Amino acid sequence: PQPLFVANSLRVRSARIVGKDHLKLRLDPGGVQAIAFKRGELYDDMPPGSDIEMAYHLEWSEFSGNEYVELRARDLRPLNLEQ
């Protein structure tokens, strides 16, 4: 099994929908990329500057010949929503 990590406070630098319903994020610190498959419904809750919590594992990704480490979200939630 892959190790599962938890980050309690990541800041959304950018968010977009990719494919049919996947959420692609760029997060701070560091500008790391993350993907949350079938979680596009969270797009409106994660504008730039918002904070999130995320459980994830690390994954190698490749796009247009470039390889990079990406966080693959297993679970995530926005932190700044008023409840």
- pLDDT tens for 19-51 read 999 999 999 988 999 999 999 999 999 999 999
Give me the percent of the chain exceeding a pLDDT of 90. Answer: 77
Gap between the Cα atoms of 55 and 33, Å rounded: 14
> What type of residue is 55?
A
Pick from 49, 8, 52, 63: which is nearest to 36 by CA? 52
Mean pLDDT within 54-78: 91
For residue 52, give the H/E element and its range.
Answer: strand 51-63
Q: Quick one: pLDDT at residue 50?
A: 94
